[in-house]
Structure 1
C-alpha cells in the first residue's frame, strides 16, 4: 500500500476498493466473464496462426507467392477451376482468381502483416498518446496549451493525404509494412491523447493523488505510482478498439496504393482485389472479410471484459456470457479481500 493511500485512510476516506485492485482480483473478475475468455482464446488463436504461418503452409505444401496458371480457367476470365474455388487436398481453401495463388497461404501470411501492422501501430499510438496526454495534464498552463494545440492538429490531419505525401518522399525500397506502421502510429495518437488528458485531469482531483503531491512526490512519480494505474482501464479498452480500426486503415491504404503491395499478402489487400470477384469466386471475398469480422468482434468483447475487470463498478456494455451473480460474487470477494488486507496491515 503506497504512502498516498495511507494518508487517505488517515483522513478517513474509504480506500478499500483501490486496495483490492491487485492482479489476483483482476484475473478473478476476468475469469468470471466467459465471453471475455472465449474472445481471448480467439485472439490468441489468431496470433498463433500468424506466428505459425510458415509451418502451416509447409504442412499444406504451398506458399503465398507461387502462381498456378493451370488451376485457372482463362476462357472464363481467370476463374478458378473446380468447385468452391478449387478447394482440394493440395489447396485447402482454393486458389486466388486470375493468379492461382493459394488462398490458405495468403490468408495466414496476411494475418501476419495485418495483425503485425495494426498491433505495432497501436503500441506506437498508445505510447505517444499517453505521454502527451499525461504531460499536458500535469504540465504548466503553457505546456498544456502547446501540447493540446499539437494534439488538435494531429486529430485534424487527414491520414490519407499525409500517407500520399510520405509516399512521394520515402524511397521505394523502404519496407511498406514498416512505412504503414509509422504513418498510422505517428498520425493516429491524437484521440487517445485527448482521452488520457481528460482522465488525468479527473484523477488529479482525487484525495490519494492530492495526498501524493502534498507529500512532496515529483510529477513523474505521481504519474507512475498513482495516475497510470487509474489510466489502465480506458487506455487498454481504447487500444483494443484501435487494433481493428488500424486493420481497416491498412486496408484503405492498400486500396490507394500506399499500403502493402503485392506479392506481400494482407487482409486489406485481399479485400481490395476481391471486389470484382465476389460473384465468380465468393470465398475470395468471404475469407478475409470473415477473418476481419472475427478479429474485430473478439477484440471488442475482450476489451470490454478487460475494462470491466479493471473497473468492476463500471457497467458492462456487452453482458454476453457474464452472469449477474458472477459479477456480484466477484465484487463481494473483492470487498472481503480488501477488509482482510486492511486488518492485516493494522
Structure 2
C-alpha cells in the first residue's frame, strides 16, 4: 500500500502541471492578439474589400502603362504618321483604328496615359504637401496665424477650379503635364487646408495631447507625433478621391485647348480632335474616352474604399 504522503505529492504535481499548461495555453492566444488601431483595422478592411482590390489592380495597371508604354505597344506614338491610313476602322493591323492623321489610336491611347497619371499624382502630391502643412499650422497655433492663412486660402478657394485653370493656362500659352499640375495644385490646395485645419482643431484638445504637454513634450513633437497621425485620415480620403478629379480636369483643359498641347499626347486632345468626325469614325473618340473613364473610375473606387475603411461610422 502506497504512502498517503506520496500520493498527495503526486496529486499536487499533477495539479501544478495542469495549472501551468492551462496558463501557457491562456498566454499563447494572448500573444496572437493585435493591438486595435484605426490604421490596422483599415488595412484589414481594405484587404477584404473587392472594390478596393479591383480599383487598386486597375490603378497599378494604368501606372504600369504610363511608366512603360512600349511594353503594351510596339508602335511609337510620336513617330510620323502615314496619311494614307487616315481614319481606318479597327482591324488586325490597327486594333483601335487610326485617326485623321493616320496615327494608331491604340498606341496614342497608351502613350496618353503617361500625361494623365503625371498630372493626377503630381497635383495630388503638391496639394497634400501645401494643404496639410498650412492646415496643421493654422489649426495648432490659431490666433493671427490661423486668421492669416484662412483668409489667404479663401482667395484661392473662391476661384472655380476649371474656370481658374482655363484663365491661367490661357495666359501661360503652351502647356504640358507639369504646368497643368502646378495650376491645378495652386487652385486645389485650399480644400485640403480646410479639412486639415478642422481635423487639427478637433484633436488638439484631446487628453493624449494634454498628457504629452504635461510630460514636457515640445510643440513640434506634439504636432508631428500626436496631432498629425490622428488628423490625417480625412485628408488621405479626400486626396485619394481628388486624384481622379484632377485627371478629369486635365482632360477637360486639354479638350478645350488650354491644357496639354501637341506634340504631347492627351486623352482630352484625342477626344477634341475626334469630336468633329464622330459619325464617320466613332472609334477615334470612343477608345480614348473609355481609357479616361476607366482610369478615373479606378481612382474613385480606391478613394471610396479608403473612405469606408477609415470612417468608423461606416463599419
TM-score by length of 2: 0.81
State the shift of 1:204 in Å: 1.6
- Mean Cα deviation higher: 296-305 or 21-30: 21-30
Structure 1 contact 67–101 (Cα < 8 Å) conserved: yes
1:198 aligned counterpart, secondary structure: helix
Q: Which of 1 and 2 has greater Rg?
A: 2
Aligned counterpart, 1:142: 144
**Conservation of the 8 A alpha-carbon contact between 1:91 and 1:102:** yes
- Give the equivalent residue in structure 2 for 1:205: 205
1:189-211 CA-partner distances (Å, limit 9, x unpaired): 01111111111111123222232
The reply to whether residue 315 of structure 1 matches residue 292 of structure 2 is no
The residue that corresponds to 1:76 in the other structure is none
Q: 2:57 aligned to 41, 44, 52, which one?
A: 41
Distance 1:244 1:158, change over 3 A: same
How many residue pairs end up in the alignment?
Answer: 281
Please list every run of 5 or more consecutive structure 1 residues that lacks an aligned counterpart in the other structure. Answer: 1-17, 73-79, 317-346
2:46 aligns with one of 26, 30, 55: 30
5+ residue gaps in structure 2? 1-33
SS across alignment from 1:93: coil
Does structure 2 retain, via aligned residues, the 8 Å contact 1:121–1:246? yes
User: Residue 234 of structure 1 aligns to a residue in which SS?
Assistant: helix
After TM superposition, the structure 1 stretch with the greater mean CA deviation from structure 2, 118-127 or 243-252, is 243-252
User: In structure 2, what is the equivalent of residue 297 of structure 1?
Assistant: 297
TM-score using structure 1 length: 0.74
Alpha-carbon RMSD across the aligned residues, in angstroms, is 2.3
Shift of 1:164: 3.4
Distance 1:283 1:259, change over 3 A: same
Report which structure shows greater RCO (CA 8 Å, sep ≥6). 1
User: Do the aligned partners of residues 315 and 22 (structure 1) sit closer, same or farther apart at CA in structure 2, a change above 3 Å counting?
Assistant: closer
Provide the residue aligned with 1:129 in structure 2. Answer: 131
Alignment of 1:140-219 (within 5 A): 140-159=142-161, 160-161=163-164, 164-165=167-168, 167-168=170-171, 170=172, 176-219=176-219
* Inter-partner Cα distance in structure 1 for 2:91 and 2:62: 23
Distance 1:214 1:284, change over 3 A: farther
